[in-house]
Amino acid sequence: MVGCMDNLFNNFVVLFIVVDPVGVAWLFAAMTHATDRATQRRTAARGVLLASAILFTFFFIGVRLLHLMGISLSAFKIAGGVLLFLLSIDMVFARHSGLRSTTVGEQREAEHKQDISVFPLAFPLIAGPGALTTVLLMTSSHASDTTHWSLLVILLAVLLSTYISLVIASDIVRALGETGANVISRLLGVMLAALAVQYVIDGVRQSLNLLL
């Protein structure tokens, strides 16, 4: 029971760090600074709902997709762990790559869009490669129905916290500033690095067990 709770807590921490509500709120505030509060709330709601649809799709059918493509769970754990480790490096060094945020070209495109809820807010800022990988790792590691529904609650909690962060994005920017946001991101990045390595270790161990 204790081990199961620890796994659920780890899954929450990983997904929360990968989605990074504070970092997304910072970018959201920068992209919507010229709009009023009501428009910001509507954009935030649409973005989170669309991201939820993407993440829920992967949550319910992601493991089946892996089986259809002939990808073993151990192989995906190793690949996912490597991807999350690269993400953690970006966070520790406060770099913005296509894994965690929009690229320069995508930012230029977003500046000329009236509605940013689909792109880049829903994808790739909220439901980006890291978040999709994390959701698949979560669901592939737990088979029981009770744990599966617990993971769904975790996903909903992270999405709700992201929406709240977007609604109060301007307040977060004023309170933390860029330096404060980067400090938090670096601390979370160190935690994510350790958890990513654990995913790789688990995947390698499973692969070795299959060979022996």
4 vs 120, higher pLDDT: 120
pLDDT of residue 140: 79
How confident is the model over 125-153, as a mean pLDDT? 84
Q: What is the pTM of this model?
A: 0.83
Checking if the pLDDT of 38 tops 70, the result is yes
Write the pLDDT tens digit of every residue in 186-207: 888 898 999 899 889 988 998 8
Residue 205: what pLDDT?
92
Could you give the dihedral angle defined by the CA atoms of residues 148, 54, 92 and 4, in that order, rounded to the nearest 10 degrees? 0
d(Cα 45, Cα 165) in Å, to the nearest integer?
A: 11
What mean pLDDT, rounded, does the chain reach?
85
Residues whose CB is less than 8 angstroms from the CB of residue 187 and which lie 6 or more positions away in sequence, other chains included:
none
**Residue 27 to residue 125: CA distance in whole angstroms:** 9
- pLDDT for residue 21 is more than 60: yes
Cβ contacts of 132 within 8 Å, gap of 6 or more: 54, 55, 58, 62
Which pLDDT does position 31 carry in this prediction?
A: 86
Neighbouring C-beta atoms of residue 80, cutoff 10 Å? 23
Angle between helical axes of 145-167 and 37-68 (0-180°, round to 10) = 150
Whether 138 contacts 199, CB under 8 Å: no
Residue 83's CB: how many other CB atoms inside 10 A? 20
Q: What would you report as the CA-atom Rg of the chain, rounded to the nearest whole angstrom?
A: 17
Q: Write down the pLDDT at residue 19.
A: 93
**Tokens representing 66?**
């892996």
Task: Considering only residues 127 and 147, tell me which one the structure prediction assigns the higher pLDDT.
Answer: 127
**In the numeric block, which tokens belong to residue 68?**
């259809």
Residues sharing a CB contact under 8 Å with residue 112, sequence separation 6 or more, in sequence order: none
Residue 107 has what pLDDT?
A: 60
pLDDT in tens, 84-116: 998 888 888 877 665 555 556 656 655 555 678
pLDDT at 40: 94
Alpha helices in the chain (DSSP H): 2-19, 21-31, 37-68, 73-92, 104-111, 129-141, 145-167, 169-211
d(CA 163, CA 120): 15
**DSSP secondary structure string, 36-49?**
-HHHHHHHHHHHHH
